[in-house]
Structure 1
Amino acid sequence: MKNLTNKVAVVTGGNSGIGYAAAKELAAQGAKVVITGRKAEAVKNAAAELNVIGIVSDQGKLDQIDNLVAEVKATYGSVDVLFLNAGVASFSPVESATEDHYDTIMNLNVKGVYFTVQKFLPIINDGGSIIFNTSVNAVLGMPSSSVYAASKAAVLSINKVLAGELAPRKIRVNAISPGPVETPLYGKVGLSEEEVNGFGAILGQKILLNRFAQAEEIANVVRFLASDDASFVNGTEITVDGGLTVNKIVY
């Protein structure tokens, strides 16, 4: 049975990776889906493949968020599910981190996420679901990830605060913290293919299931949190990392 029939879902950064997989799953469950992205061609192609609405919108620019909300409101009137997936990942040791590195990550991953929620709130239906895509990097202490990790830790804090603030409207607010996922993102962080493969091999050994996740596995959790199956799940973080954060000592 489709459990999201006639629900309206907005997936930011829905043109690839986890966002694409989530949009596909939500649509399969009957939702009317809107995806966003910064690159017009990528959004157009993904929207056509998924048979959903695609809107070009840069999460780092508040006027574009305003336009996004206005367009969604004009099309559907209101929203039931908001999956805040869009973000950027780049890495630098603290000694060489630049102001641009810091500002780019914080602008997209924190400021953009925060104001996307704020601007959508007037059209999110009471009883709706807000879902943040965060990361296990918020707690792992991985070298060279200080700014990225801080951005995801900030969102986890926002998640808990908003769960309390929006409880009177019965809007559930939750976060998903994926471990490593096989998405195009790893090719966009300034590493060569050889470096990405080497990093993946080392990291894969530290995951209890000995592999990266598939984007569809994260999408399944998005679908759960979006649906009434998660009607009593609020203000929490679901870690989906194959056991990476278990910190096994001896096996």
Structure 2
Amino acid sequence: MGKLDGRVVIVTGAARGQGEQEARLFREEGAEVVVADVLDDQGQDLAKEIGALYVHLDVRREDDWRRVVASATDAYGRIDGLVNNAGILRFNTLLDTPVDEFMQIVEVNQVGCFLGIKTVAPAMPDGGTIVNTASYTGMTGMAAVGAYAATKHAILGLTRVAALELAARKIRVNAMCPGAIDTAMSNPAQLDPAADAEEASRGLDRFYRKVVPLGRIGKPEEVARLALFLTSDDSSYITGQPFVIDGGWLAGVSIV
């Protein structure tokens, strides 16, 4: 028996990284999974490998969201869960951030999350779940990622409001706040066939050993396990909450 037997869950940004690990784990736990992404080739390959449904989704487009909902209900008859995982990151100081770059991040991270809630929740039965991916930077500040941090703060606000508004239907809405996780977002070497991604990961571990109490960068599989907890009945009395998964980074600075 899996923790998600009989459930149908949409995972956005599922072609790689955290979303891929969430899709894999959810299938292992018995869910029917809708792999949604703009990376069609990778998304289709993953869906074929794990026995899932792939649907193209640009999270900025409401029509794309409607297509995902229609495809999921046509294929499986229902939608029980949503993991809003898709997101982008750009590094820039606030004073050097072009407005177009700021708005691009807002559209993908913040508007994409809003549209997911707005479009998928009406198609859910009572008792569904929504998991929004915020960030460590949604709980605090970080230089050079101002636009990203702003959207992740906004996602926490959306999560709390959605939890209140959907509580009457027993739809639970929570947020994950990952710190540094070893995906292509923080480790671009994973996207370069000529690069040594494993050595890059070891380099990240050496760097984060200085700032993260647990002494290493996080793994996408660890975030996937948190997403599973928030999607399963193990978290049946939890809604409207942010869950930090950062190796202790947010706890403070050690001077010892």
Q: Tell me: CA distance 1:99–1:199, structure 2 relative to 1, closer, same or farther (3 Å).
A: farther
Match of 2:185, SS state, is helix
2:220 matched residue in structure 1: 215
Match of 1:174, SS state, is strand
2:111 matched residue in structure 1: 111
Q: Shift in Å at residue 197 of structure 1? A: 7.4
Q: May I ask how many residue pairs the two structures share in their alignment? A: 249
Amino acid at match of 1:99: V
Contact 1:77–1:123 at 8 Å: present in 2 too? no
Give the TM-score taking structure 1 as reference length: 0.93
Contact 2:83–2:133 at 8 Å: present in 1 too? yes
Amino acid at match of 2:159: N
Q: Shift in Å at residue 64 of structure 1? A: 1.2
The yes-or-no answer on 1:153 pairing with 2:158 is: no
Contact 2:60–2:115 at 8 Å: present in 1 too? no
Instruction: Tell me the distance in 1 between the aligned counterparts of 2:69 and 2:255.
Output: 50
Q: Tell me: CA distance 1:156–1:22, structure 2 relative to 1, closer, same or farther (3 Å).
A: same
Deviations 1:30-81 (A, max 9, x none): 0111111102111111112222111111111222112111111211222111
Aligned Cα root-mean-square deviation (Å): 2.0
The yes-or-no answer on 1:178 pairing with 2:178 is: yes
5+ residue gaps, structure 1:
none
Find 1:234's aligned residue among 220, 239, 247.
239
Match of 2:46, SS state, is helix
5+ residue gaps, structure 2:
193-197
Larger strand share, 1 or 2: 1
Contact 2:175–2:241 at 8 Å: present in 1 too? yes
Give the TM-score taking structure 2 as reference length: 0.91
Q: Tell me: CA distance 1:97–1:195, structure 2 relative to 1, closer, same or farther (3 Å).
A: farther
The yes-or-no answer on 1:130 pairing with 2:127 is: no
Amino acid at match of 1:175: A
Deviations 1:134-183 (A, max 9, x none): 10012332111111000000000111111110000000100010111111
Q: Tell me: CA distance 1:194–1:222, structure 2 relative to 1, closer, same or farther (3 Å).
A: closer
Match of 2:255, SS state, is coil
- The 5-angstrom pairing of residues 1-251 of structure 1 reads 1-188=1-188, 201-251=206-256
Amino acid at match of 2:9: A
Percent of aligned pairs with the same amino acid: 31
Contact 2:12–2:35 at 8 Å: present in 1 too? yes
Deviations 1:198-229 (A, max 9, x none): 66633332111100111111111111111111
